[in-house]
Amino acid sequence: MKKLFALLIILLAACGPLIPAPGIEPTRAPASWPTIPEPATSPLPTEALPALPTPISGGGYPAAVFLAQAELAARLNLPAAQIVVKEINPTDWPDACLGAATAGQMCAQVITPGYEIVFMVGEAQYIYHTDADGKHLLQVGKPGPVRGGEKSMPLLEWTGANCEQLSVSTAAVFYGKCGETLLAAAELEGSAGAEPLKSRVKSFAPFEAGTPAGKLKFIGFDSKLISDGFGKSIASPADQRMLAEWAKLQFEIAQAGRTGAAWGLAFGYQREGGIAGFCDDVVVYLDGQAVVSNCKGLNATLSLTASEMQQVYGWYDDLKQIDYEYADAAVADAMKVTLNMPGQGQKIADEASLHAILEFASGLSAQASLKQQAGPQLAEAELALSDYFRALNSGDFAMAARLYGGSTDLLQTWNPDIKNDLPAWLELGCKNNGLVCMLPRSVRYYSPDARGGYQFLVEFNNPDGSLFAQGPCCGETSGPSTSRFMFTVLPVGGGWQVMDLPPYVP
């Protein structure tokens, strides 16, 4: 398990401005994230703990240091040996409150000799003010990343129903209860560790929201670092809940000091038997991660979209606990299917609901299996699709024409006075004819195409960053709407071309 600091520094330094795809497992790793200045030397430990500071006098530390160390060890319920002394700064405090008076506190205005002592616990630091002999000592401020190094960026703050708190920055994670000293958690764990936070930090604008999983303040990147493709998407209610569910899980893991496979579970699905020899397992978590495996070597993690998790939350919130099992008659090719969901609702799952959940899980299993078989050309096809959307959105219609290989009949029908000019047709299609030439919000590989290419499901952002949905057609006020659109990408002349036009709004 990677340490949090290394993981989040990689998050900020090694990923890149790709078309935002929140909630979707990327098939192409981003190239680079916004540049954040790095210190000449890292202030954080790697494997070994840092060397202790030079003793003040007499071959040892002042008594105040050991007393403060013991007090912090008792507070954190840790051996004193894990409380590492980083700095000891002799200080003349301006008052008897050691320079740390609280609002309304009366302090004798007398110079008080003592120390400022900095302790390290894992990747976090705690600061104490003491008098000369340690009879009076105070832990000041909140725990924070080790000072003197790279500037820490806050990412999110979460508060649970019983005033549990989790605070995550680029340097450390802290947890605890309201009004208490927060404790340092060294690692992000769970169904996908830091991955759910990683994709959302890259994609979403800041927000505050109350969700069924607690209150969330999402800070994301500082506005000065937001550039094209960063912080542009507005989180939907399902997006907000996924992130809150992730934070809740991280708090529970930090508090317990361990994790469990069933923690944060939305549902689990298993299918085995049959002529084809099925042995599929799908586990979907409330933070939007799905783990898919089988006995043929598949072991994949999918990041579900907000649209998909909206379905999952609907089942989880409305239905009672499900313990479903179906088995064929005792024959050689018998099929057995099980479904377990710790539902929180009041409704008993009917046949239609069970069928929908089973079909959803089976679809995830099929997509993960097909992606495993897709080969390295899948990334090339997805890159061509991304470049196509970017070209249309930015007005580079010559580039978009090179990447489009589909039918031009509709474009010619709209613009009969223009002959054999695909860039002009695409420009008029986007500007005048009703094509909605937006940037994608998410891209998910769906299946292979019989012509040697690939099919993708794509969600788009409205200009304001909200999720685009194509509603009822042609003046209707009711009817189905969709936010996911299928695009096919085929190999053509040594490259890749997109066969479909953007969504159309009359």
- Tell me, yes or no, whether 163 lies in a domain: yes
Q: Which of 34-48, 58-72, 185-199 has the lowest mean pLDDT?
A: 34-48
**160 in the same domain as 243:** yes
pLDDT (tens digit per residue) in 479-489: 677 889 999 99
- Of 328 and 245, which is predicted with more confidence? 245
Percent of the chain residues past pLDDT 70, beyond the cut: 79
Q: Which of 109-118, 174-183, 234-243 has the lowest mean pLDDT?
A: 174-183
What would the 3-class secondary structure string for 150-172 be? CCCCEEEEEECCCCEEEEEECCC
Q: Taking 90 as the threshold, does the pLDDT of residue 281 lie above it?
A: yes
- Tell me, yes or no, whether 321 lies in a domain: yes
The predicted model gives 2-18 an average pLDDT of 41
Of the candidates 158, 191, 205, which has an alpha carbon nearest to the alpha carbon of residue 22? 205
**223 in the same domain as 272:** no
Token pair of 204 as six digits: 């979403």
Residues 6+ apart with CB under 8 A from 33: 11, 12, 13, 14, 15, 16, 17, 202
Per DSSP, helices labelled H in 236-376 are 237-256, 306-318, 351-374
Rounded Cα distance between 370 and 45, Å, is 42
- Tell me, yes or no, whether 465 lies in a domain: yes
- Tell me, yes or no, whether 327 lies in a domain: yes
Rg (CA), the chain: 28
Rounded Cα distance between 307 and 444, Å, is 12
Instruction: Return the C-alpha torsion angle 417, 420, 423, 428, nearest 10.
Output: 20
**492 in the same domain as 393:** yes
**276 in the same domain as 242:** no
Of the candidates 282, 308, 314, 447, which has an alpha carbon nearest to the alpha carbon of residue 23? 308
**137 in the same domain as 196:** no
Domain that holds residue 102: 63-145
- Tell me, yes or no, whether 54 lies in a domain: no
Token pair of 137 as six digits: 């000592």
The residue behind tokens 């209860």 is 177
Under the banding of pLDDT at 50, 70 and 90, the label for residue 123 is low
- Tell me, yes or no, whether 51 lies in a domain: no
Of the candidates 505, 500, 427, which has an alpha carbon nearest to the alpha carbon of residue 463? 505
**274 in the same domain as 368:** yes
The predicted model gives 229-237 an average pLDDT of 72
pLDDT of residue 193: 66
Instruction: Return the C-alpha torsion angle 59, 62, 68, 69, nearest 10.
Output: 0
Token pair of 127 as six digits: 């600061």
Per DSSP, helices labelled H in 257-350 are 306-318
pLDDT of residue 489: 97
- Measured between alpha carbons, how far is residue 151 from residues 2, 9, 90, 154 in Å? 21, 11, 25, 10
Q: Which of 102-106, 120-124, 387-391, 436-440 has the lowest mean pLDDT?
A: 120-124
User: In angstroms, how far is the first alpha carbon of the chain from the final one?
Assistant: 51
pLDDT of residue 189: 56
- Tell me, yes or no, whether 53 lies in a domain: no
What CATH number is attached to the domain comprising 386? 3.10.450
**173 in the same domain as 31:** yes
Q: Taking 80 as the threshold, does the pLDDT of residue 254 lie above it?
A: yes
pLDDT of residue 475: 57
**165 in the same domain as 33:** yes
The predicted model gives 319-340 an average pLDDT of 86
Rounded Cα distance between 246 and 121, Å, is 24
- Measured between alpha carbons, how far is residue 297 from residues 134, 279, 432 in Å? 60, 11, 50
Q: Which of 256, 279, 300 is the last residue of a domain?
A: 256
- Tell me, yes or no, whether 431 lies in a domain: yes
Rounded Cα distance between 312 and 254, Å, is 26
Q: Which amino acid is at 340?
A: N
Under the banding of pLDDT at 50, 70 and 90, the label for residue 474 is low
Is the CB of residue 398 less than 8 Å from the CB of residue 387? no
pLDDT of residue 296: 84
**360 in the same domain as 272:** yes
pLDDT of residue 48: 37
pLDDT of residue 56: 41
Token pair of 219 as six digits: 């800070």
Token pair of 252 as six digits: 């529970």
**404 in the same domain as 361:** no
Q: Which of 1-10, 382-391, 486-495 has the lowest mean pLDDT?
A: 1-10
Helical (H) or strand (E) element with 400: helix 397-403
Query: What order do you get walking across the sheet with 154-159 strand by strand?
Result: 183-185, 173-177, 164-169, 154-159, 214-218, 207-211
**381 in the same domain as 494:** yes
Q: Which of 155-164, 188-197, 354-363, 459-468 has the lowest mean pLDDT?
A: 188-197
Q: Which of 81, 114, 145 is the last residue of a domain?
A: 145
**411 in the same domain as 362:** no
Q: Which of 95, 130, 145 is the last residue of a domain?
A: 145
pLDDT of residue 171: 64
Indicate the number of domains in the chain: 4
